[in-house]
Amino acid sequence: MFADIDLRALAEMTAPERAFLSVYLSGPRSAGELSKKFTAIRRLLSGDGPARDEREHFDENASAVLKHLEQNTLASGAFCLFSCWALDFLQAVEIAAPVKDLVRIDSSPYIRPLAELRDEYENVAVVVADNRRARIFLVSSAVAGPEETVRGNVKNHVRKGGWSQQRYERRRDKQLLAYVREIADALARLDQEETFRRIVLVGGKEALAVLYENLPQALRDKVSQKAIDLGSSEAALNADIMDLFVEAERRSEKDLWERIKGEVLRGGLGVVGLDEVLWAARAGQVESMIVDRTYRPEGRRCRDCGNLEVAIVEACTACGSDSLFTVDVVNELVGMLELTGASADFADPIESLTGAGGIGALLRY
């Protein structure tokens, strides 16, 4: 999914008024209901001045989106489209993950949903291995890619005693070691070719233990593993893999929050609260941001000077204009972080994070 869309390029696009239309569709049925939603939105854009201009932008954007959908019928799956008539821009992307229907007009593309999906469905390398064979593949946006197979055929332990058993076990140990090193080499090649933060190992207990011991430290740090019976169904296997991935993701979120919290408590490179995080993001100081995925603070952007207010104000504090419109502040932050190469983690509710305002950041300096 994310190979087809450049969030940084979208984050660079902006207009002084709500000239962008962002549309997320959960499936083909949602596309058929889009015209009704557009009609309802247009009724809200009545009046003169800025409303008239925004209505013109909206009409042209809506027409472009509907025309694109007529010419490119959705067969299945989710979809997102970004349109800006003023910039002669239209981009449509299929999404290999579930999304909620959403229509939004703003001064920039609404990329928060994509940032959340990228965080939740990041690439993960998967190894399914026992003593006979190993399957190695990359899961991207919840879709498995091409698979590599490594054959092991390591014999079972024998119960006979004496020197013959010892020689057999030594040969077996060498065979197992050569087998797992071949798996480790395949993972190292995949690490050079693709980007992934996690490795999920599932399968036979012995094979996983020896494999883990023979991975380079950089790969070992990415591992979550579980010994399971590979004789179970494919559905059960996939469920175990997904459970491990989700468990690792939740653990990573908590680890990041603990790092930020520790930095804040010692007066170091950490900030919490919307004002502090926004200030640091504007200065390019943020390395990693964590935000409660249920946290949706609204702000105001000034049509005249572009100033962003994180509070609900009647007039711009920078220029005094009363021509303001509502924005999703987290979406604005995501855009800032994309432009500076920082990361954004969207976490399930964590009690201490919620108590600290629902948002925090680890700083570069």
**How, if at all, do strands 286-292 and 270-272 pair?**
unpaired
Report the SS3 class of residue 46.
Answer: coil
Select from 24, 148, 40, 150 the least CA-distant residue to 77. 24
The residue that leads in pLDDT, 122 or 334, is 334
The model's pLDDT over 185-226, given as tens digits with 9 standing for 90+, comes to: 999 999 999 888 889 999 999 999 999 999 999 999 999 998
DSSP letters for 228-256: --TTS-HHHHHHHHHHHHHHHHHHHHHHH
pLDDT for position 163: 54
The model's pLDDT over 163-172, given as tens digits with 9 standing for 90+, comes to: 566 776 788 8
Local confidence band at 158 (pLDDT 50, 70, 90 cut-offs):
very low
Please provide residue 339's backbone torsions phi and psi, each rounded to the nearest 5 degrees: -70, -20
The Cα 112–Cα 116 span in angstroms is 6
Sketch out the chain's domains with CATH numbers: 1-110 (3.30.960.10), 120-231 (3.30.420.60), 252-365 (3.30.1330.30)
